[in-house]
Amino acid sequence: MTAIASYGRLRDRFARLAALEEASAILHWDTSVMMPPGSAPARGEQMAALAAVAHGMLTEPSAGDELAAAEAGAARLEAADRANLALMRRKHRRATALPSDLVEAMARACAACEAAWRDARRTSDFPAVQPRLAEVVRLVREQAAALSAATGLSPYDALMDGFQPGLTDARVEAVFGPLAAMLGEVLPAVLERQAAHPAPIPLHGPFPVSAQRALCRSLAERAGLDFAAARLDESTHPFCGGTPSDIRITTRYDEADPAQAILGVLHECGHALYEAHLPKAFARSPLGEAAGMAAHESQSLIIEMQASRSDAFLSWLGPQMLHAFGGDPATYAPANLARLWRRVAPGFIRVEADEVTYPAHVILRWRLERALVAGDLAVADLPAAWNAGMKELLGLDVPDDRRGCLQDIHWYDGAFGYFPAYTLGAMGAAQLFQAAVAERPGITAALAEGSFAPLVAWLAEKVHAQGALHDLDGLLAAATGRGLDPAAFERHIRTRYLG
């Protein structure tokens, strides 16, 4: 079998595999948005069956034969195809490390745990979901050990590598240590400066969900989301799901405060645009995927935090909100919106946290999930450990588990090793935005007119179209001239909050 023919068969195999994963993604969206609660057991079996079929397609002996034959003649392939082949080998290596019964058990356990989490979160009842989470953690540890043996990475590194290729715990620690120290210095100074200025005027509701929904859809369209191949719905935990050609974003609405829905939709649009602009020539192939979850978070946060909370964009958004909701025009003045939406205040909820305190939420979760994976923290002790960590990092006494260890879906859905991506993504977003504005000064003027187009065009070229060609450092280096540089994030924080 020739290398080119073998590579062609691999392209076909991975296209079929991607189609199965897309079907699973739509089922996952349906689970979070549409599925009746009583259907959870059946959905768990469906998800497990799809996971088992996809795993079998990637691990059957013929897949290994095709990879070996293609690699033997890889010099005959184009450079992009060689990169795609290397990513295929990576996926095969990780898949063959895991027994099929473990893959199926993991999918089934996560579906059951996520369903239980929805009820437990609503009633703040951690003991109700604890046995399910304990089973997920047990399987995650088994998965991590198997991946560790196959890759030579530590168990936790092997999990992180699945979300952001090349990321290690040592690298995270090297970034998070100085970050925690910097925030410890900056936070008191920000709070002091903030206290010396007039408090923002609160927005006076109610803000009808129908009006919020219409404004959010309009903002998503302005960001560049094409609703001919996308949906906007509601879920307990906002997310971007679906597929690059069938994008599903969600948010949640609060009639007392529209900020959560508006900024949540803009955040998820950043994810959605990344998916929509991935290289079409490698659709349903590893090179046509995103560069990892830290890269993905950089795209959501550059839209939400860097662009949408900028003075320029708020000067345009204020009048749109006044038109949508009515009320006191002073509350929608750009300076007031800036004081509201850039207000720093330690809080319990990660997704509602400001930029300065947000990293503390991630550091807490990173510490706890490392301990859970290592076996140093029992699931039964998670609420107490969480509450102690919040007291240490943000000085807060957590009132209940709904605002504590039940607030995020990730662990209950088996996503261990994901959380560092959020803060690394915030750092990447600051670095990318500074480079984009320096290269294309018209970006700021466009935002003042409510247009994301110049910024999104730059991102589409520098980030989205690169697919999985680079790891995070390589992607940032290609776009900005240097790998991940935490100094860009510090510069952003000091300029926005202390400048």
Tokens representing 333 are: 């003045």
Picking from 419, 371, 362, the residue whose alpha carbon sits closest to that of residue 141 is 371
d(CA 236, CA 264): 12
Rounded to whole angstroms, what are the CA distances from 484 to 182, 274, 335, 477? 17, 19, 32, 8
**H helix or E strand, kind and range, residue 51:** helix 40-59
Q: How far apart are the first and last CA of the chain?
A: 64
d(CA 327, CA 308): 22
d(CA 167, CA 473): 10
DSSP 329-348: GGGGSHHHHHHHHT-----S
Rounded to whole angstroms, what are the CA distances from 160 to 112, 278, 372? 23, 22, 14
d(CA 8, CA 2): 10
Do 140 and 416 contact (CB within 8 A), yes or no? Answer: yes
- Greatest Cα pair distance, the chain, in angstroms, is 74
Rg (CA), the chain: 23
- Is 268 an annotated catalytic residue? yes
Q: Which of 66, 104, 114, 268 is catalytic?
A: 268
Tokens representing 208 are: 């009808």
**H helix or E strand, kind and range, residue 247:** strand 246-251
Do 496 and 342 contact (CB within 8 A), yes or no? Answer: yes
Q: Is the peptide bond before 202 cis (omega within 30 degrees of 0)?
A: no
Catalytic machinery residues:
268
